[in-house]
Structure 1
């Protein structure tokens, strides 16, 4: 199936990580020109090197999402390289494990700016061009915690859920402009972030990482952690012309982990 993404410009935030890197790969493999943005230039470049070695088009961009005053200049760099952004993938890092109570207000503010406000402002920056061209894709990666809150991820559960409400509202505002706006949420995808969370839980509960991983796997319908490429491929489909009638949706890519309907 041709997803018709050739020569589209895709900006993938957090593209140096496991999920972001997989998304960048899937989009580039479909012919998109991909800008891989990450707070770590080395991480972004690592993703880009793999793509370029495979004959795909990609470039790296160092970007600290907490620095809101750099958004316009960073997007301008992308536009200078490949033209206006057609596909925006909002993928941010997660906060540290915390309870929902007794957290300092400065911690809430810090992660609100980097995880939520940055996403909103970057989207606002690229939307005018999309509306003018009558085509665009806004895809925001969150967490299964927005459907079934994850214990000891209080800040993440709360802040990521706010992006779901924002995304759903935005979808209705720009749908007539040929722009789709969707949320994707991963279950237990085998990335460094999941390894970190498994290790933190094992330490907190005095158990082995293997025991924690085995317990988590048992709760997944397909009986395994997901492959990052499986996640990236769903995002690529949502970015395509084939998914033009999917908007305002929350897509679970979780192997059947989430038990709610």
Structure 2
């Protein structure tokens, strides 16, 4: 029974990843802070076809949490076949108003937690010839003045993922980075609300202004990102390793 660990699985993209991998028959370990939301995702994943679903509610930014989640997964299923590092949101704002604590918090959850989970799950993943998918974001390639923390974290994740992919060359493991663009989640809704408040315009107007600014025909759906995660965790991606895949509707113009 293939088993996947998904961090940040309580809502948004993480929830979509859980439901997608459930449809592919994975047993799941879902980790995030919000225990009630985790249980809701777990129930949906069971209904979607997951043979077993386990949850671990904890602050993933804290040392020791990754080891505890991996240990619980091995105790429950005896293996780890896929690791999807999705946890982490970073604070937006003017660089001059962001504090050291804001930067440290951003790196603690999205970057350091990813490093710790990769380290903790390395041995069972190597044994299973499994897959790691680290979720970065298009901010890694397109710096924005109000996203100095998130862009820096996402860029660091790409570098880190390529480094460990090179380390695992020849082991049968597959390690890749996925960069979602502007996807319909709670996070996007908050950005639209902030823009509407700043501009003194309606939510619909703010939604359209943001869409046009990014040059995309529409916003993406979580399931469209989940489909790529499902591919990367499947045998169909056996020759996909050490790469960066962008799912952003064409918003990133750079090479």
TM-score if structure 2 supplies the norm length?
A: 0.93
Aligned with 1:199 (options 190, 193, 197):
193
Are the equivalent residues in 2 in contact too, given 1:10–1:88 (CA < 8 A)?
A: yes
**Map of 1:75-94 to 2, 5 A cutoff?**
75-94=70-89
Aligned with 2:110 (options 107, 110, 115):
115
Report SS of the residue matched to 2:158.
Answer: helix
- Distance in 2, Cα, partners of 1:207 & 1:17: 28
Matched, 1:14 2:8: yes
Task: Name the residue aligned to 2:40.
Answer: 46
| Aligned CA-pair RMSD | 1.7
Per the TM alignment, residue 131 of structure 1 is displaced from its structure 2 partner at its CA by 2.2
Report SS of the residue matched to 1:37.
Answer: strand
Are the equivalent residues in 1 in contact too, given 2:22–2:49 (CA < 8 A)?
A: no
Instruction: Give unmatched runs, 5+ long, in structure 1.
Output: 1-6
Matched, 1:100 2:88: no
Report SS of the residue matched to 2:170.
Answer: helix
- Distance in 2, Cα, partners of 1:73 & 1:203: 41
Instruction: Report how many aligned residue pairs link the two structures.
Output: 254
Matched, 1:182 2:179: no
Aligned with 1:171 (options 156, 165, 169):
165
Per the TM alignment, residue 11 of structure 1 is displaced from its structure 2 partner at its CA by 0.3
Per the TM alignment, residue 221 of structure 1 is displaced from its structure 2 partner at its CA by 6.3
Instruction: Give unmatched runs, 5+ long, in structure 2.
Output: none
Per the TM alignment, residue 236 of structure 1 is displaced from its structure 2 partner at its CA by 0.6
Report SS of the residue matched to 2:98.
Answer: coil
Per the TM alignment, residue 222 of structure 1 is displaced from its structure 2 partner at its CA by 6.0
Are the equivalent residues in 1 in contact too, given 2:130–2:173 (CA < 8 A)?
A: yes
- Distance in 2, Cα, partners of 1:215 & 1:239: 35
Task: Name the residue aligned to 1:252.
Answer: 246
Are the equivalent residues in 2 in contact too, given 1:219–1:257 (CA < 8 A)?
A: no
Q: Hey, which bits of structure 1, 4+ residues long, moved more than 3 A?
A: 218-222
- Distance in 1, Cα, partners of 2:102 & 2:213: 31
Per the TM alignment, residue 202 of structure 1 is displaced from its structure 2 partner at its CA by 2.2
- Distance in 2, Cα, partners of 1:200 & 1:92: 22
Are the equivalent residues in 1 in contact too, given 2:4–2:28 (CA < 8 A)?
A: yes
